[in-house]
Amino acid sequence: MNPHGDDSAHRTAPGADPESPVAALADLEAWKARKTYPSPLLAGGPVFGIARERASGGWELQPYFSGLAPQDARDS
């Protein structure tokens, strides 16, 4: 709180408002769309495994995972 008793400046994040109505609408839609995605905190950590290139093209993931670090996948 500042000496004048107004702490409203601490309630908002610093930033610029969108410059056009289209940008404002895009910002609003992006804010609403974030609710459809799960929280990245609930997804767990990264999983590293092995993929092999197919002779016919593309990649195939192997059915096992090696560890929690990229080095573990490379060493297996």
> What's the pLDDT tens digit per position in 18-71?
678 888 888 889 888 888 877 777 766 666 677 889 999 999 887 776 666 777
Comparing 6 with 70, which gets the higher pLDDT? Answer: 70
Q: Please check whether residue 29 is in contact with residue 23, taking contact to mean a CB–CB distance below 8 angstroms.
A: no
Q: 33-39: which pairs have CB atoms within 8 A and are 24 or more residues apart?
A: none
With CA atoms as reference, report the closest residue to 63 among 74, 71, 75, 51. Answer: 51
Comparing 3 with 47, which gets the higher pLDDT? Answer: 47
Cut 0.75: pTM above it: no
The SS3 call for residue 22 is: helix
9 band by pLDDT with thresholds 50, 70 and 90: low
Q: Please check whether residue 61 is in contact with residue 51, taking contact to mean a CB–CB distance below 8 angstroms.
A: yes
Whether residue 11 has pLDDT greater than 50 = no
